[in-house]
Amino acid sequence: MATAPWQPPAAGAEVARYKERVKEDQLNEKYFRVTVIATEASAEGLFRVKLEYGFNINETDVQLPEWTPGVVLKPVLQKAAGDYHCLLGFDAGDGIFHELYEIRAENGNVRLKQTKGYFKAR
């Protein structure tokens, strides 16, 4: 039985989240946290990403690649090797994780780096 294609929720809704407690600071309750948030243009692949490491909080927009017509890509976050490290990718409805960005906290700073690219074959 086929499942219905994924559709993004209303703008401002949380789509995916990754959270890991900062171990080095036992006095305060700080987290490395990545949250993917839907926008008005999420059906076209545009999402807002909130990056947090303790009190260092930033937001940026990411654009998922174009895929086959009628397919809305669902953002997915996965744990990566090491502390404060995850991958942002997408599922095209086939249950396969397609990596797109690496997100890592180092020396109190959060870095988002594109690791793969996808293009539509013609």
Identify the three-state secondary structure at position 44.
Answer: helix
Residue 85 CA to residue 106 CA, distance in Å, equals: 9
The pLDDT of residue 80 is: 97
Evaluate whether 59 touches 48 at the Cβ level (below 8 Å).
Answer: yes
Evaluate whether 99 touches 81 at the Cβ level (below 8 Å).
Answer: no
CA dihedral of residues 8, 90, 66, 58 (deg, nearest 10)? 80
- The mean pLDDT of 85-93, rounded to a whole number, is 96
| Tens of pLDDT, residues 25-50 | 888 889 999 999 999 999 999 999 99
Evaluate whether 99 touches 86 at the Cβ level (below 8 Å).
Answer: no
| Percent of the chain at pLDDT exceeding 90 | 77
The pLDDT of residue 119 is: 75
The pLDDT of residue 69 is: 86
- The mean pLDDT of 66-87, rounded to a whole number, is 94
User: Phi, psi (5° rounding) for residue 57?
Assistant: -125, 130
Q: What is the model's pTM?
A: 0.91
CA atoms within 13 A on the CB side of 87: 14
Evaluate whether 114 touches 100 at the Cβ level (below 8 Å).
Answer: yes
Per-residue pLDDT band at 11 (split at 50, 70, 90): very high
- The mean pLDDT of 80-103, rounded to a whole number, is 96
Q: Return mean pLDDT, the chain.
A: 92
93 φψ region: left (φ > 0), alpha (ψ -120 to 50), beta (else): left
